[in-house]
Structure 1
Amino acid sequence: MTAPGNQAVTMNSQGTAMSAGPQPAASAGSLRSALRLWRLLRVRDAGRSDPQRLTGVLAVVAFAVTTAVLLLVLGGFGAFQQRAEAGGPYSDEGFYVVLAGTASVLLLVPLITLGGAAARLSMARRDERLAALRLAGATTSQVSVMTVLDATVQALAGAFIGTAGVFALIPLVLPVTFQNRPFTYAELVPEWWVFALTVTGVALVSMLSAGASLRKVAITPLGVAARHTPNPLHWSRVVPLVLFAACFAVLVHYGLAGIVVLVAVLAGGFALLNLLGPWVMSLVGRLSARRARSVGTLIAARRIIDDPRGAWRSVGGVALCTFIAGLTAAAAMFDSVGSDDPIVADLSTGGLLTLTIAGLLAAVSTGVMQAGGIIDQRTQYRALHLAGTDLTVMHAARLRQTAIPLLAAVLIATAAALVFMLPALGFGLLSSVPLLIQFLLSVVAVCLLVLAGNLASARVVRTVLA
């Protein structure tokens, strides 16, 4: 019997995979066969019974939003750089550039989350399909070509749409005033090389994600097809965050927390928060499963336990928004005491703008990941439907699958914001009623956006049950 890795696969007129005997792994014929396979599979996967086309559309939309918002953020950062280089009474020696850079670093978190969601959206279905082809005799080169083509076509399509979409987003930012003057359209348009680097970066993110799935398929197609459960997460993820918080408290106590240190603390803190989040989600899922009083809650809890990383990714943007809401409320408190410094007012404005962008990204991420999860778990949804589960129960389970991690993420991020702000600003933050009201309204608004993103994916359930 010939090893699967040394055979080629072709498609018959019905689109069924057929072994074509031993072939050189890197031959031109193997490449042509892979291209023909990819084209035929793209056509056959567009039916209602296998909504691969819907998966592809969602991935393209997610890549487009990622590209457009990233270009808008980079354009804003470039606008502040231009103003600092030009000088003037409000240049403040590049201080605004540092603040814009801080906001850009914060927004990279939900942007990376959304880009990763787009890259992972069709990964599970692609793994299943490519694993079957490997078992049927596809060579490593054929699987590699099809995987790279899938990832690159979706990413580039979304990136080009997003590149055009940024020109429609720029007018929405023009009324915002910084340094006592609004932006101009020309200021917010990035340089041409920024467009090129952004499109290239989005494509690379998708290709790296495809490479990770390819490694699993090429080595262990049986393991991918069986969908083995990953190892449980360990409590040791808490240790780095505790050490990080202790180091920050020491820096603040000795007056060493300058603006550069604060930016580094923000970036490092969110990286560690993303490390801790999945472990917290696994605990929340187990607790919810033990105390479940309804079928919908039990289903939602079991899904959170099965994929705590996915549960955290779906609400990680809310954690960022909660933290930004705390910083914005603190800036608004200083602005309300009658400070004549324009930087204080601009801090509040910048915080609200960053919060708005992060909230919209979080909502889009949740909608995309929920839709992708429904498509990935369509066999489970069909089994529940055939077993007599009502559609309202399925929707309740989906909603709680988002709402339970959402509440946990808000609580975690609020605690992180207090750890960050109390050493620097004192306990006066907790006694300011306007500050608390603004903080609560901001967090509630973001949570409503995320829940709206969850509800927007309800139609996908009907699609997979059709």
Structure 2
Amino acid sequence: MEALRLAPGLTAARLRSHSGDGWLDILAVLSFALSALMALTVAGGVWMFSGWATNPTAHMLQTAEHLGWGQQSDLFTAYFGMAMGAGGLLVFPIFSLGASAARLGARGRAQRLASLRLVGVTGFEAVAMSMVETVVQWIMGAAVGVMAYFATLPLWSSVTFIDQHINPAQMRLPVPLFFAVLAFTLVIALISTAVGLQRVRISPLGVANREPNPALRFWRVGASVAAIAAFVLWTRTDRAPTDMWTYVSMAFMLLIVVGGISLVGPFILQSLARPGTLTRSPAILLATRRILDDPRTAWRNVSAIALLSFIAGFVAAVPFDRSDDGSVSLLHDINTGVLITLAFGFASAALSTLMNQTSLVFDRAPQTYALAQVGFPRQFFGLSRAAQILGPLLLSTLFTTVIGVFLGYSTSALVPSTDSIVLVGVFILIGIGLSVLALLACEPLERHVLANMRRAND
């Protein structure tokens, strides 16, 4: 297993290299760090609210009585349920962030494995080396994430819930749960790496064979419709607003809908891209062909922003009406929780978008270099990349926002306010702005990669 001992050294060598590949490892480490920070912070928040539900302080009990809650335990149970619901909504961004990190530079990794096979490394050792590389990156990222977790704990003392400032000590996870959360992020990274390598067959001659992606099937639409129908049926059931399981079940049903949207999203992009093959614009034609070649990758480029728009649409379409039982006093805390959830979501979406775009720059560098050699101007590649990203982004955000507003309306049976609609528009603009910034960041990186591919005597 001498090859396995080389993996950490190869990772360190790429980080020190000037070819540009080291940027992928740096982004992977940053993504694992943010993933660990988010997972630990979310778990810490849920742990804090669970402590409030089982052992509330005298001040909290007095506040609950002042709000008019006959059964004070119902209030703390509701908060614990809402915390679990928010945590459930953030599971997918955390998973997506770790998965994107593990898939960074997939084709470059395949070429490295092919070279190693040529010098005698077995197929098992080649896959194991990729796993070791992922573990090395995860260890570096997790270490940064853990330090950031403890460094940011004091900042939560400025946030109030139930008219009480958060005690950062209550967000410190017990040791078993702490390592369980970190193990969860590591498992995500390893599974994503294993799945990504399944599509790459490395022959003994050192050739990486990549099969074309099969066209996506219509069953994805049926699965998505079934998920949405299941949520609508859930809204017709009797639900107590103070029952913890109401919020837990809502988060679970929303995760099912998110899964359905993730299934149908690539199919929709594939279907809408087919008419684009009739265009006379070379840039749009190249973007369309790339979407049709791999609609799953096209969806991953916009999925983080699209799914966040779904959550924003759902939350904005659930206004809370005033009542006499004290629930109106929960509005401030609910808005605070929503803002925290969306802040985490946008942080992961921004980094995920940047990682996906950077990875595509390296994966498609040979094709880009070949087109540049036959006379395509430099701005052609930027226009093609913009058409490949911004078109699907606008369509997917509109699609997911409409679904979010519809499901939010079905939950509350109230017409969304003008402020809520404006809030959704702001979220969409922020998401589009993040994607545009990621596209702009890829321009100098692409020039650097193409310059390194040129021979010294050119």
TM range (shorter): 0.7 to 0.9
Ranked by relative contact order (alpha carbons within 8 Å, sequence separation 6 or more), the top structure is 2
- Post-superposition offset of 1:445: 2.1
- Post-superposition offset of 1:297: 2.6
| Greater CA drift, 39-48 or 247-256 | 39-48
Give the partner amino acid of 2:345: A
Q: Is the 8 A contact 1:179 1:346 kept in 2?
A: yes
Give the partner amino acid of 1:402: I
Pick the aligned partner of 1:436 from 377, 400, 421: 421
Alignment correspondent of 2:110: 127
Alignment correspondent of 2:444: 459
Q: Is the 8 A contact 2:283 2:383 kept in 1?
A: yes
| In structure 2, C-alpha distance between the alignment counterparts of 1:254 and 1:434, rounded to whole Å | 29
Give the partner amino acid of 2:422: I
Q: Is the 8 A contact 1:79 1:187 kept in 2?
A: yes
Alignment correspondent of 1:197: 180
| Greater CA drift, 369-378 or 392-401 | 392-401
| Greater CA drift, 254-263 or 173-182 | 254-263
| 1:370-449 → structure 2 map (5 Å cutoff) | 370-426=357-413, 428-429=415-416, 432-449=417-434
| In structure 1, C-alpha distance between the alignment counterparts of 2:247 and 2:55, rounded to whole Å | 23
Give the partner amino acid of 1:399: A
| Greater CA drift, 230-239 or 184-193 | 184-193
Alignment correspondent of 1:13: none
| In structure 2, C-alpha distance between the alignment counterparts of 1:156 and 1:216, rounded to whole Å | 26
| 1:286-301 → structure 2 map (5 Å cutoff) | 286-290=274-278, 292=279, 294-301=281-288
| In structure 2, C-alpha distance between the alignment counterparts of 1:223 and 1:408, rounded to whole Å | 41
Render the CA deviation track for 1:378-406: whole Å, top value 9, x for unaligned: 11121222233333322222233221121
| In structure 1, C-alpha distance between the alignment counterparts of 2:325 and 2:448, rounded to whole Å | 56
Q: Is the 8 A contact 1:34 1:142 kept in 2?
A: yes
Alignment correspondent of 1:14: none
Q: Is 1:212 the equivalent of 2:199?
A: no
In the superposition, the TM-score normalised over structure 2's length comes to 0.85
Q: Is 1:43 the equivalent of 2:13?
A: yes
| In structure 2, C-alpha distance between the alignment counterparts of 1:36 and 1:361, rounded to whole Å | 31
Aligned partner of residue 299 in structure 1, secondary structure: helix
In the superposition, the TM-score normalised over structure 1's length comes to 0.83
Q: Is 1:81 the equivalent of 2:50?
A: yes
Aligned length: 432
Give the partner amino acid of 1:349: T
| Greater CA drift, 456-465 or 208-217 | 208-217
| 1:96-115 → structure 2 map (5 Å cutoff) | 96-115=79-98
Aligned partner of residue 457 in structure 1, secondary structure: helix
Give the partner amino acid of 2:46: F
| Greater CA drift, 335-344 or 384-393 | 335-344
CA gap 1:210/1:176 in 2 versus in 1, 3 angstroms:
same
- Post-superposition offset of 1:309: 0.9
CA gap 1:414/1:231 in 2 versus in 1, 3 angstroms:
same
| In structure 1, C-alpha distance between the alignment counterparts of 2:33 and 2:446, rounded to whole Å | 24
- Post-superposition offset of 1:105: 0.8
Q: Is the 8 A contact 1:156 1:199 kept in 2?
A: no
Render the CA deviation track for 1:262-320: whole Å, top value 9, x for unaligned: 22211111111111111112123323443x46433333222222221112122222222
Pick the aligned partner of 1:140 from 112, 123, 129: 123
Q: Unaligned regions of 5+ residues in structure 1, if any?
A: 1-30
CA gap 1:417/1:295 in 2 versus in 1, 3 angstroms:
same
Alignment correspondent of 2:233: 250
| In structure 2, C-alpha distance between the alignment counterparts of 1:452 and 1:152, rounded to whole Å | 30
Pick the aligned partner of 1:264 from 252, 255, 262: 252
CA gap 1:44/1:346 in 2 versus in 1, 3 angstroms:
closer
Identity %: 30
CA gap 1:389/1:337 in 2 versus in 1, 3 angstroms:
farther
CA gap 1:94/1:224 in 2 versus in 1, 3 angstroms:
farther
Alignment correspondent of 1:94: 77
| 1:233-382 → structure 2 map (5 Å cutoff) | 233-255=216-238, 258-290=246-278, 292=279, 294-331=281-318, 334=321, 341-382=328-369
Q: Is the 8 A contact 1:143 1:214 kept in 2?
A: no
Q: Is the 8 A contact 1:67 1:162 kept in 2?
A: yes
CA gap 1:153/1:437 in 2 versus in 1, 3 angstroms:
same
Q: Is the 8 A contact 2:47 2:171 kept in 1?
A: yes
Render the CA deviation track for 1:146-184: whole Å, top value 9, x for unaligned: 222212111111111111122344455443322122323
| In structure 1, C-alpha distance between the alignment counterparts of 2:46 and 2:7, rounded to whole Å | 44
Give the partner amino acid of 2:219: S
Alignment correspondent of 1:165: 148
CA gap 1:245/1:363 in 2 versus in 1, 3 angstroms:
same
| In structure 2, C-alpha distance between the alignment counterparts of 1:33 and 1:440, rounded to whole Å | 52
| Greater CA drift, 411-420 or 355-364 | 411-420
CA gap 1:141/1:311 in 2 versus in 1, 3 angstroms:
closer
Give the partner amino acid of 2:38: V
| In structure 1, C-alpha distance between the alignment counterparts of 2:7 and 2:168, rounded to whole Å | 46
| In structure 1, C-alpha distance between the alignment counterparts of 2:395 and 2:45, rounded to whole Å | 32
> What RMSD, in angstroms, separates the aligned Cα atoms of the two structures?
3.0
Render the CA deviation track for 1:190-248: whole Å, top value 9, x for unaligned: 33333322332333322233333555556757897232211010111011222233333
Alignment correspondent of 1:156: 139
Give the partner amino acid of 1:456: A
Give the partner amino acid of 1:451: V
CA gap 1:335/1:126 in 2 versus in 1, 3 angstroms:
farther
| In structure 1, C-alpha distance between the alignment counterparts of 2:324 and 2:271, rounded to whole Å | 42
